[in-house]
Amino acid sequence: MGKVYLVGAGPGDPELLTLKAVKVISEADVILYDRLVSEEVLNYAEPDCKLVYVGKEDGKHTLPQEEINKLLVYYANVYEKVIRLKGGDPFVFGRGGEEALYLKEHGVPYEIVPGVSSIYAVPAYAGIPLTFRGVASSFAVVTGHECTGKEKRIDWRSFKGIDTLVVLMGVRNRQRIARELLEAGRSPEEPVAFVERGTTSEQRVVLSTLKEVASSPPEVKPPAVMVVGEVVRLSVDIGELLENLKELEGVYHA
């Protein structure tokens, strides 16, 4: 019986991988990886490591979760070190908990290797602090998948008093989310940021307001993190500050 490592690959930038993640990836016999795991991350694996793609995207799954669970058990009976590699952190909307429970039920040894989550890393790369003295002293994270339809489990009224909201996987439902937040009592002028492909070279930031997103949502492509709150305004100020520092640094070196 081998051992399964549930590993977080971080939000996209390969330099945000933890040292432990690099270590276990480089020692892996087989890696089952998700759609958002970059080629640069997979390059840490040895050439003879078996790579198995089990990625998912909205409405298109390579394998259902139940089959992925079974594969983990199968490979643990064949190989010594099996890696389940996920974008971000495996225990943050990554079904890592489900996989850990399945492995435990089937007597397979496993270990969790946490990863840097897009919850805070992606806004940070866009210059958006989730908390800021005098502006935001609280934040909440929610998935945008479970906000519509029969399986709706989110009561947006419960987030009325939260200063900053971070919505993952909410691009498809962004207009509905904005409308429900307005109905829950949040300000129409509250700023919203969408950060596409955060922490990568393809990062793109789209700024808007709840009112605008609710009436005419901007064009945004997944994967993207949605941030709602006054801290979004700080991103512009920080961006300008960084540009000014670059100019000053250029003058200084000249």
Is 34 labeled as catalytic in the residue annotation?
yes
Is 163 labeled as catalytic in the residue annotation?
no
pLDDT of residue 254: 44
pLDDT over threshold 50, residue 252: no
3, 20, 50, 56: the catalytic one is: 56
Instruction: Please calculate the CA angle 42-48-51 and round it to the nearest 5 degrees.
Output: 45
34, 81, 86, 89: the catalytic one is: 34
Is 70 labeled as catalytic in the residue annotation?
no
pLDDT band at residue 153 under the 50/70/90 scheme: confident
> Would you tell me how many other CB atoms lie within 10 Å of the CB of residue 166?
23
pLDDT in tens, 237-246: 655 655 655 5
pLDDT of residue 189: 94
Identify which has the larger pLDDT, 37 or 250. Answer: 37
- 8-state DSSP, 192: E
Rounded mean pLDDT, 85-113: 96
Q: What is the CATH number of domain 3-116?
A: 3.40.1010.10
13, 81, 169, 226: the catalytic one is: 169
Per DSSP bridges, beta strands 3-8 and 81-86 are: parallel
Rounded mean pLDDT, 222-235: 94
CATH class for the domain made up of 119-239: alpha beta
- The residue ranges of every structural domain in the chain are 3-116, 119-239
Identify which has the larger pLDDT, 124 or 62. Answer: 124
Using CA atoms, how far residue 227 sits from 67, 96, 113, 131, 222, in Å, is: 33, 24, 26, 12, 14
pLDDT over threshold 50, residue 115: yes
Count CA within 13 A, CB hemisphere, residue 211: 4
pLDDT of residue 223: 93
pLDDT in tens, 160-196: 899 999 999 999 999 999 999 999 999 999 999 999 9
